[in-house]
Amino acid sequence: MTTESSIDQRAQQAQTTTVDVRCTGHVRDAVGTHELEYTFEGDRLREFLESFFAEYDVEDMLIAETEAEATAHGWAPVPDELPGTWRKNPEGEQTRPYARVCINGRFNEHYAGFETELEDGDRIALIYPFMFCC
């Protein structure tokens, strides 16, 4: 026999996702740890980021609002045609230069960007800086 409270419990569990968050560099310093379990309402990367950024003030380190903020300056010129397949998130959903958001070790651009569906136990890495040069 199913009770109303067990139905409510299952509905509540279906509305949240728990992920393992790994933080590096400046993100680690701001969050205060390199690893934590984080539960949020929803099941998309966008919902995770909105919830996480509301709790931890690291959005400006990671997310670029404009194309100019997402572009590194001083690199070699880009050829007119790039070889292979290139994926890029739309403006407003890109990371800053040298910052990345990864899901289970892969850049979110290789999935569905901020619309990527997350499951309990997924690993989300918030990386800044992504690369360090002397």
Q: What is the pLDDT of residues 12-65, one digit of tens each?
A: 555 999 999 999 999 999 999 999 999 999 999 999 999 999 999 999 999 988
Ordered DSSP codes for 74-120: SPPPPPSS-SS----PPTTSEEPTT-EEEETTEEGGGTTGGG-B--T
Which pLDDT band holds residue 134 (cuts at 50, 70, 90)?
Answer: very low
Asked if residue 92 has pLDDT above 90, the reply is no
pTM score: 0.79
Nearest partner of 52 among 129, 130, 131, 118, judged by Cα: 118
For the chain, give the mean pLDDT.
Answer: 86
